[in-house]
Each structure stands twice: as C-alpha cells, then as structure tokens.
Structure 1
Amino acid sequence: MSTQQPVYMGIGQHTYSETEHSRFDLIFPTVYNFLGMDLVIPSGSRDRALHVPQQPRIFSASAAEIELRIEIHQSSFDFESASIIYQKHTSCRMTDVLITESQFQLPDGLQVYRKTWAPTTPPVAKLIHFHGFSDHMNNTYDLFPSLARRGIFCTGIDQRGWGRSAQNKGDRGNTGPTAAILADMAAFIEAQFEVPPDVPVFVMGHSMGGGLVATLASTPKYQELVSRLRGIMLEAPFIGLDPTQKPSIITVFLGRLAGMLLPRFQLVQPMKVETIVRDPVVQKALKDDPLNHTTGTLEMFAAMLDRAADLTSGKLVLNDGIKSVYVAHGTADQVTSYDASKHWFDTQTGKVADREFKSYEGWSHLLHADLPENRQVFADDIAEWILARV
C-alpha cells in the first residue's frame, strides 16, 4: 500500500486538531510492515510509552476507506486511543495473511458486512463462520489469522441485525424468522462454492451461530447444500441454555404472546460478560464494544428458543449426507449448555461416521477468546481437524 496522509479521529472526549498533531513525532513510515502497509500513528517523545497491539483491529470499511483502531497508552497525554483512516483501500496485508472487508448481498437485496482472512499461498480449505447473538466478525481475535497462516481461507458476514450490518438502531437484532436466516446462510455458503479455488468447504458456528448451523444441517430443504460441505463445526452451540440462564415458563409464554402481536418490538438482553469469558481484558472489550448492543426483537428471541427446543427434542433430525461433525464446548460454559450439546451430539450424529465431541475442561463460552494461553490451543485444534480432512 502506498502511504496516505492520515486523518486523526478523536475517541471519547478528546478531539485532535492540526495544532495537536504537530506536537507528536510522527513515525513515517513506521516499522509495522507486518501489515504490508505503512502505518502512521501519533507518538510522543522517546521516554513516553507507546503500545500497539500485535494486530490493529479493523473497525469499519467502505469502498473509500479502512479504519484501524490503535490502542495507545501514554500517561503524559489525556487520550487512550486513536483511529487512523487509510484512503482508497479496502484490504490490508500481514506478511502471511490478506485481510479484506467488503459487502455481500443477501437474497432480498440487503447488503451486509463481510470479512475475509486469506493465506498468501493457494488455500487448501475454506471455512465459513457464523457468529453468535450480539456478536460480529471483528470479535474473533486471532482465530482466523491463525487458521489463514495454515492455509485455510476464512470468511463470514455480520448477519442481518448484528455488527456493521445493523445500520441503525431499528435494525438491531431484527433478524427475521428462522426461514429467512437460513436462506441468508445458504446464499452465503453457496457463493463460496462458486468462487475459486475448488477446495473443501467447512462451516462453523459459535453459540447462536452454532445452533443455526445445526438447524441448517437438519433442514430437508438444505440437504443437498450441506451434503457438499466437507464438515460442520459447532463451537459452544446454542442448543440449550445453561440452567442459570433459562427463562421461566411464564416469561417464555408471555414473550411468545407479545411476539405474535409485536414481532419487531426490541428488547435489550443485558449480558454479564464475566459469564461469557474468563479473560478480564476481553470482558472489558465486550463491555466497551458499541456493536455489542445485546438487542433482539421478540421474533428473534422466540425463533432462537424454538430452534434450540427443536434440536434438543429431536424434532429437527440431522440430514443424511453429512460428511463430518465437530462439536467443541467448555465444561464451565455459563451461557449455553454443555450437557445439551453433548446430548445432541450423542443422539443426532450417530449416523455420521466421522464425528468428534471435544470437551475443554474449565473453559468459558467464548472458546476462541478464552484465557490468552488457551487461544492458540483452540486455533490449533480447529486447524488440525480441518487439515486432516483435506
């Protein structure tokens, strides 16, 4: 990438001005060429500490710009972070991973945010990811760069109602009914088969996304599609809620009744981040993330509970033709039920010759962002399972 004159954007209460820019020594170009670009960041004098994450996080993109948020810790100045805008680019490159942000058009014409991590060598497999409730594709930490470094092309969308695909407050959690969500997923999966190279395709889902992948794989309408997949992978899938999270029967009944009358009525469902992940740094990131809006429509909540009930009861039966199944769940998950996942695996995947249930002892709900020392373990487990099947 050629170096562009940066535009500094204030975060929080601090706003940068041209005068303030001149007070910083600009590293131009910087040494952060592991991204394949010249980053320009404000830097104080040599005795002031400057901390840049190993991988600056892409927060937003359009055809004209990419925004990277760099965390800065500098005691002498009253700011915590800054954003850097790179004009005229929609992708950035690490030395071994190409990261691209774009839009994907759903069957009804809605444009949703898409992110891709591609190896710089020809990929040996493709992994399609579907995120969970109130989550998004930029909240996966180092999982997909790690997989891409091992030759696995990784891609996913912020599904309708979530992340950067929710353009205004009225869009938040407005996913539509399950049939519409499955149609969105199928369209995105089908599109990956149509794009070279012709390599094995795997589909992975986390939490609500895992329940959706299991639902797609159990819906007769999509039998032919899922039979072309090399495997499905469920990370802490929402097949059942942890007992501490289950709503009462009365709450469910009243919610369904209200949902029939006002399906798009929005509710905020606060989440205790301490129950989601063990790492305090990730807990804070979840609290501070403006895209983690924890908002859903009554229709969305009812559909999510219905899918879990149908998977648990056996009303939804895994389609024939599934080549392989991998389920990963932490035993200390306080959001989705470990036991429900194991029950589904035991009762539904018996006809699948290639199947594995992986228990992570003491791990939390967000397996890919559990304690720092565990993240590479999880990424390696995912990579090795995929690579053994290509």
Structure 2
Amino acid sequence: MDKVETIESWYTTSDNNQLFTRTWKAVGNVKAKLVVVHGFGEHCGRYDELLKNFAAQGIESYSWDQRGFGETAKKANTQGNAQGWDTVLGDVDDAILRNKEDGIPLFLMGHSMGGGIILSYLTQGDRYEGAAKLTAAIASAPLIQLTNPPPAPVFFALRYIAAAVVPNFKYSVGIDPSGISRDPAQVEKYKNDPLVNDAATFATLKDMLVNGELLLKTSAKITTPILVAHGTADPINKFAASKVMFEHISSSDKNLLGFDDCYHELHHEVKDVKEKVTKDYIDWIEAHL
C-alpha cells in the first residue's frame, strides 16, 4: 500500500483554532469519500493502516486530530480540552461540508468516543446541514456506556460539581492499554505512541459520558443507514449498551456486527479479525454506492 498518497496539513476553523488533518487519497478513481472521527486520547494517525486499505479500494478518507488531542493539542497546548460538545459536533459538520463533492457518495465513521460523536451528530441532523449529505455511517465500538463505569456518586460529582466548578481541571482516566486489542504488538504500539494521552478536562469527560448515555434515549432519531461494529468482550466500552442503542435506531437500513471475544479496537485486533472487519467496512461502503 506504499502507493497510497497521504497528505498532512493544518486547517484553521471559523473560530481560529488550528486542526491537524490527514487525507488518504484514493488509488485510481474516487468511488466514495469518508470522514473519520477518532477516539478518546488518540489521534487520526492511528487509522493509517485501515484507511490505506480503504484508499486501495478507491475510498478517499479525511480525518483530523480533534481539539484537545494529538498534534492539534500539542501545537496549542490544550491537551484533553475538546472545547464543548457543540464545538465538537460543529467540527464534524464542517468536515462533511468541506469534503462533499457532487456525484461522489460521502460516508461518516467514528470509533469509540468518535463513535459516540457521530451518533450524537446523527441524532441532531436537523441542526446540521451536513447530515443530509451523508450516504451512510459506521460506528465502531461507540462510547455509549463504559464497561466499568465510575460509581454513581463519582459520576454525579463529575457531572454536577467538578465539571461546573473546575471545568478545565485535567484528570487522567487511566485507560488500560491491554484492553485495546488481543494483539500484543498493537498494545505496545499504543503504549509507546507519544501522541496517545488519556488526560482530559472534567468538562470534556462529562460531555463524553453524558452524551453517550443520552444516546440510549435519542438514537431513535437516527434515520441514516448505519453499521455498528463492536467486540463483545470490549473491556472499555460496553457492547450491551451498543446493542440496546442499536435496537432503537429508526433507520430501516442498519446492521450490528458483534465480534465474539474481541476487544476495543477491531481495526487493530488479531490478524484474521482485523482483515475481516476491514472487508466488512469496505463491503458496507460499496453496497451503498
């Protein structure tokens, strides 16, 4: 896949923030375009292998290091501060509008926190111009509920006290890297990635958890064709919550793929699973061209 051209650049938002972006150019004719939203504590570069596979099949992908994460946070010194849920969803809408081309189907994909973000975006399609321009979407291990959530008093304190009183206080959530994948090489890669950082402000953590939980009540508003993929043994985000959320989605074109015994990042799982999930994603996109 060396022939896949990857373009890195900086994009200045309407509110004058700079976002680090990557585009994986399609090999040959562009049959589809894809906007990808990464997960908590990581960055868009961790999707390089997956999106090069997509590019080889004529699918051009665009992603960015979100506010508070990756190169974007490194440049602005804003680690873990996503600047509010409406801002996060606005960045998604902006990315869709900038990548939409007449005659080329456009897809939206998000993993983990990014999965929760795109689902939240789709429930509010009436607020965002880009939602109507999407052909279909993919949510990978979306953050609806944590597999091991904080005790109720802690969650209450985060939501109603800490996030309100000291919203910009940074807290390390202590993600166990071993839950990322059953492939030890992927776990080591995650642990040694200098751009991976699990610290976030109280306000950002509250937004993630509250809006994830909210999807159990609002996912009926989703009418976009959607594929949800989740490892049944995910120790980070609860598979059962994805299943409940999925059942409420109103779209007549929806599919839930549960990967038995798999962990959090299906696109970084052991070789046979990684290859199958990559093929499943490509097949979903091609079936909706």
Instruction: Name the TM-score class by shorter chain.
Output: over 0.9
Cα displacement (A) at 1:222: 3.2
Do the aligned residues in 2 keep the contact of 1:324 with 1:353 (CA within 8 Å)?
yes
TM-score computed with the length of structure 2 as normaliser: 0.95
Do the aligned residues in 1 keep the contact of 2:36 with 2:62 (CA within 8 Å)?
yes
Q: Which of 268, 271, 280 is equivalent to 1:381?
A: 280
Alignment of 1:279-318 (within 5 A): 279-312=183-216, 314-315=217-218, 317-318=220-221
Do the aligned residues in 1 keep the contact of 2:177 with 2:191 (CA within 8 Å)?
yes
Alignment of 1:234-253 (within 5 A): 234-242=139-147, 245-253=148-156
* Aligned match of 2:112: 207
How far apart in 2 are the matches of 1:120 and 1:338?
34
How far apart in 2 are the matches of 1:367 and 1:272?
16
* Aligned match of 1:343: 244
Cα displacement (A) at 1:110: 0.8
* Aligned match of 2:41: 134
Q: CA RMSD in A?
A: 1.6
- How many percent of aligned residue pairs carry the same amino acid? 28
Gap runs ≥5 in structure 2:
none
Cα displacement (A) at 1:220: 4.7
Q: Which of 82, 90, 96 is equivalent to 1:183?
A: 90
Once the two structures are superposed, residues 125-167 of structure 1 have per-residue CA deviations (whole angstroms, 9 ceiling, x without a partner) of 0111000000111112421111110110011011110011112
How far apart in 2 are the matches of 1:223 and 1:109?
20
Cα displacement (A) at 1:225: 2.4
* Aligned match of 2:269: 370
Cα displacement (A) at 1:101: 0.7
Cα displacement (A) at 1:337: 0.9
Q: 1:151 to 1:169 in 2, by over 3 A?
A: closer
Gap runs ≥5 in structure 1:
1-33, 35-93
Paired residues, number: 288
Q: Which of 234, 240, 245 is equivalent to 1:333?
A: 234
Once the two structures are superposed, residues 328-378 of structure 1 have per-residue CA deviations (whole angstroms, 9 ceiling, x without a partner) of 01111111111110101101x2x3121111111111100000012322211
Cα displacement (A) at 1:387: 0.6
Tell which structure's C-alpha radius of gyration is larger: 1
Do the aligned residues in 2 keep the contact of 1:141 with 1:369 (CA within 8 Å)?
no
**Residue type matched to 1:277 in 2?**
S
More helix by share: 2
TM-score computed with the length of structure 1 as normaliser: 0.71
Cα displacement (A) at 1:318: 1.9
Stretches of 4+ aligned residues off by more than 3 angstroms: 220-224
User: Quick check: 1:149 aligned with 2:56?
Assistant: yes
How far apart in 1 are the matches of 2:50 and 2:278?
6
How far apart in 2 are the matches of 1:355 and 1:316?
12
2:221 aligned counterpart, secondary structure: coil
1:165 aligned counterpart, secondary structure: helix
**Residue type matched to 2:227 in 1?**
Y
How far apart in 2 are the matches of 1:252 and 1:354?
35
